[in-house]
Amino acid sequence: MSVQVWTYLLVGITFTLYIGIAIWSRAGSTKDFYVAGGGVSPLANGMATAADWMSAASFISMAGIIAFAGYDGSVYLMGWTGGYVLLALLLAPYLRKFGKFTVPDFIGDRYYSNTARLVAVFCALIVSFTYVAGQMRGVGVVFSRFLQVDINTGVVIGMIIVLFYAVLGGMKGITYTQVAQYCVLIFAFMVPAIFISFQMTGNPVPQLGMGSTLNDGSGTYLMDRLNGLSTELGFEEYTDGSKSVMDVFAITLALMVGTAGLPHVIVRFFTVKRVKDARKSAGLALLLIAILYTTAPAVSVFAKMNLIDTVSNEQYSQMPVWFKNWEETGLLTFNDKNKDGVIQYVADEDRNELIVDNDIMVLANPEIANLPAWVIALVAAGGLAAALSTAAGLLLVISASVSHDLIKKVFKPNISEKGELWAARGAATVAVVIAGYFGINPPGFVAAVVALAFGLAAASFFPAIVLGIFYKKMNKEGAIGGMIVGICLMLFYMAKFKLGWLGEIPDKSEWWFGISPEGFGTVAMIVNFIVALTINKFTPAPPSQVQEIVENIRIPSGEGKAVEH
Amino acid sequence: MSEKQKKATAYWKENVRYLFILLSIWFSVSFGAGILFKNALNTIKIGGFELGFWFAQQGSIYVFVVLIFVYVRLMNKLDKKYGYNV
């Protein structure tokens, strides 16, 4: 069977599965819709969290980015996993004990203020919308490459599928489809990695293969060969980065703290039964994520080696079929500058003739390594699972922010349970349509902003939540002031140094403390802490019943289930 | 302070002490071994891996996973000790 047939088959089967699960797990109450009834097992929640978390960016782009960035790519590996340690130790158990439905719920109640709630809703919406647009785009790219449909048609198909199970099932439907999606995506990521690791090094475990000797009888270590080739072609050594230590430090910290502050991840811990389960499921989630995250750098190394071996100083006319296929998508371009018919792939921009998009490395890897057609098709199904599962989780945050935090808590407190459920479904529908629109007409700044969503989350939520739990005397004036100053500072730095909204983008040398916009979330977070604590010093302490709430969430027992409204 | 409050305060103190220790390890494997001391550690090689690079792309992640499970165990014990496990 051809790749095309396999792809239709595998994508068809997985989509049918997702829809089947959605029908089986319809939401009957708002509690089902927001937190899946609060009775999800730690393992199911761990799997769902892992799928929720690993987006099109983790599955498709990350290994490619690392392949080209080498050591500098470590910021994503450490940043996007280390955040779970913060989440498990500092946030998840206490938020679960608190037992409400959303992050703005916590901020609003803990800081006894609807202003705080509204600021939190605003931050949650900005973060989630920028993120979800990127996911819909990912769905479109996979469809267009593997099923030869137009990108826009791909986005619309993706929208309909997500709409179906998010609107019908709410958190309950999303949770169980995410469990299935985790299985699909991890299988799809691991199979080609194991094949290639075995091919190149004789060791089937990619994590070990990466540090083994090559299979060609030379006895050379893979990493040494890659370092050697990289320097030969004029690139930095693979294991040596080009970013400053300060910047690597700041970006890693911003990604970690941002991960812990992302509302669609936090909200997953409201769905388990007990505090104990919240801790355990954070551990399981990270374990399941680590399987992909420790394999990805190995895939990067294999892919980079394979790419250099296949193209460097080879005749253009001798290139395999995949090369031509990807050229058609525009993600791979060859420009024979010196007209010798040979591909020069070097660091020097004037002589380099080959431009390879990051996203190709994972998607084309099985083809480059000559793996069977079903493996290639599997990667397409995995990419879709990763994009859809994350999109659904984000849509839920958006719909809950509108129906629960805005309508129920602020504008129409006496809305009936049924009315709120319908409002949630309506908000989810509108959110899917807006996300789809951005997927089809991506505003130029979306790609840039997705990376910065972490900075925004770090600068706004993380300090407010941590102080809310660990500092009993933290009051609303301090928390609101900190959040507003933090997010505005981050937005300002983005606008000035990344998006160029305030005149021409200044040179790198003008970065504050030498920190890039991606890493600036760290600075904005520190400023948030300082502002919050300073204001707190000069304003009245929180009322005693709020301090009692804090004492109560620090203790894991009592109130086993999410509080009913 | 009532007996109940005393118990809660003691529990919280032990919890915070655990957090402090575990987060120190979290910091040293990632920001320490993987970033600040990466170049020094890269002079040591284990198999095909330079050690600093290995910490940045593999080692720190394994340690993170272990840290959370250690925390889960410690807290389950602590909950039992203070009778908060019901």
Task: Tell me which DSSP letter residue A339 carries.
Answer: -
The pLDDT of residue A394 is 86
In a domain, B5, yes or no: no
Main-chain phi, psi angles of A25, to 5 degrees: -115, 55
Facing A78 at nearest CB: one of B11, B34, B79: B34
Judged by CB atoms closer than 8 Å, whether chains meet at A74 and B75 is answered as no
Q: Do A450 and A481 contact (CB within 8 A), yes or no?
A: no
Q: What is the pLDDT of residues A304-330, one digit of tens each?
A: 888 888 888 888 888 888 888 788 877
Judge contact between A288 and A44, C-beta under 8 A: no
Question: Using one digit for the tens of pLDDT, what is the confidence trace for A445-474?
Answer: 555 666 678 888 899 889 999 999 999 999
Helix, strand and coil in chain B, % to nearest 5:
80, 5, 15
pLDDT at site A249: 94
Overall domain count for chain B: 1
The CA distance from B77 to B86, in Å, is 13
pLDDT band at A562 (very low <50, low <70, confident <90, very high): very low
**ipTM of this model?**
0.95
What is residue A357's three-state secondary structure? coil
pLDDT at position A469, please? 94
Partners of A256 on chain B (C-beta within 8 Å) are 30
Average confidence (pLDDT) over A391-404: 85
φ and ψ at A342, to 5 degrees? -110, 145
In a domain, B86, yes or no: no
Angle at A385 between CA A381 and CA A390, to 5 degrees: 155
Comparing A83 with A400, the larger pLDDT belongs to A83
- By Cβ distance, the residue of B8, B69, B71 closest to A555 is B8
Determine the distance in angstroms separating the CA of B84 from the nearest CA of chain A, rounded to an integer.
5
pLDDT over 70 (residue A565):
no
Angstrom CA distances, A434 to A22, A124, A130, A485, stand at 22, 16, 11, 28
Asked if the structure places residue B34 within a domain, the reply is: yes
Instruction: Give the pair of three-digit tokens for residue B29.
Output: 């494997």
Q: Which residues of B touch A (CB under 8 A)?
A: 5, 8, 11-12, 15-16, 19, 22-23, 26, 30-31, 34-36, 38, 42, 46-50, 53-54, 56-58, 60-62, 64-65, 67-69, 71-72, 75-76, 79, 83-86
Tell me the two tokens of residue A440: 């089809």
Which residue is closest to A238 within chain B, CA to CA? B53
Which chain B residues are Cβ-neighbours of A249 within 8 angstroms?
31, 35-36
From B12, B47, B64, residue closest to A81, measured CB to CB: B64
Q: How far is CA A76 from CA A85, A134, A388, A396, A451, in A?
A: 15, 17, 21, 25, 10
Query: What is the residue range of B19's domain?
Result: 11-81
Check A293 against B49: CB less than 8 A apart.
no
Locate the chain B residue with the closest alpha carbon to A211.
B48
Question: Considering CB atoms only, which of B57, B69, B85 is closest to A74?
Answer: B57
pLDDT band with cut points at 50, 70 and 90 for residue A559: low
pLDDT of residue A450: 67
* The residue count for chain B: 86
Cα distance between residue A64 and residue A96, in whole Å: 36
d(CA A476, CA A460): 14
Spatial distance between the Cα atoms of A50 and A63, rounded to a whole number of angstroms: 17
Residue in A closest to B50 by C-alpha:
A239
3-state helix, strand, coil split of chain A in percent (to 5) is 75, 0, 20
Average pLDDT score over chain A: 86
Q: Tell me how far apart the alpha carbons of residues A535 and B3 are, in angstroms, rounded to a whole number.
A: 34
The closest CB to that of B68, out of A66, A78, A283, belongs to A283
Residue type present at position A373:
A
DSSP lists the bridge partners of residue A356 as A332
CA distance A127 to A145: 28
| Gap from B49 CA to chain A (nearest CA, Å) | 5
A367 pLDDT band, cuts 50/70/90, is: confident
Burial class, A510, CB count within 10 angstroms (exposed 0-12 / middle 13-18 / buried 19+): exposed
Tell me the pLDDT tens digit for each residue of A212-263.
888 887 888 989 988 988 888 888 888 887 888 999 999 999 999 999 988 8
Give the whole-angstrom CA distance, residue A124 versus residue A121.
Answer: 5
Return the number of CB contacts < 8 Å for A and B: 129
Amino acid of residue B79:
D
Q: What is the mean pLDDT of residues A203-212?
A: 91
How far apart are the C-alpha atoms of A336 and A136, rounded to whole Å? Answer: 35
Secondary structure (3-state) at B1: coil
The nearest alpha carbon in chain A to B86 belongs to A557
Q: Are A257 and B39 in contact (CB under 8 A)?
A: no
Give pLDDT, residue A301: 92
What's the 3-state SS for A135-163?
HHHHHHHHHHHHCCCCHHHHHHHHHHHHH
Evaluate whether residue B3 is within a structural domain.
no
Q: Between β-strands A354-356 and B49-50, what pairing exists: parallel, antiparallel or unpaired? A: unpaired
Distance separating alpha carbons of residues A560 and A293, to the nearest angstrom? 34
Integer Cα distance of A123 and A276 in angstroms: 29
Answer for the pair B67, A85: CB distance below 8 angstroms, yes or no.
yes
- The per-residue pLDDT for A563 is 42
Mutation choice for A interface testing from B1, B6, B53 by most A CBs within 10 A? B53
Nearest to A252 among B15, B31, B76 (CB): B31
Q: What percentage of chain A carries pLDDT values higher than 70?
A: 97
Best interface-test mutation with B: which of A85, A238, A284 has the largest number of B CBs within 10 A? A85
pLDDT at A147: 73
- Which value, in Å, is the radius of gyration of the alpha carbons in chain B? 18
Q: Quick check: is B42 in a domain? A: yes
**pLDDT tens profile A283-305:** 999 999 999 999 999 999 998 88
Residue B19 lies in a domain: yes
Q: Nearest 5°: phi and psi at A234? A: 95, 5
Domains (range + CATH), chain A: 3-443 (1.20.1730)
Low-confidence residues of chain B: pLDDT under 50: none
Partner-chain contact A81 B60, CB within 8 Å: yes
d(CA A98, CA A558): 11
Q: Which of B30, B65, B71 sits opposite A78 (nearest CB)?
A: B30
Is 60 exceeded by the pLDDT of residue A39? Answer: yes
The secondary structure element, H or E, covering residue A248 is helix A245-261
Of all residues in chain A, the one with the smallest CA distance to B18 is: A89
State whether B48 and A212 contact (CB < 8 Å).
yes
Coil, helix or strand for A40? strand
Phi, psi of A464 (to 5 degrees): -65, -40
**Residue in B closest to A252 by C-alpha:** B31
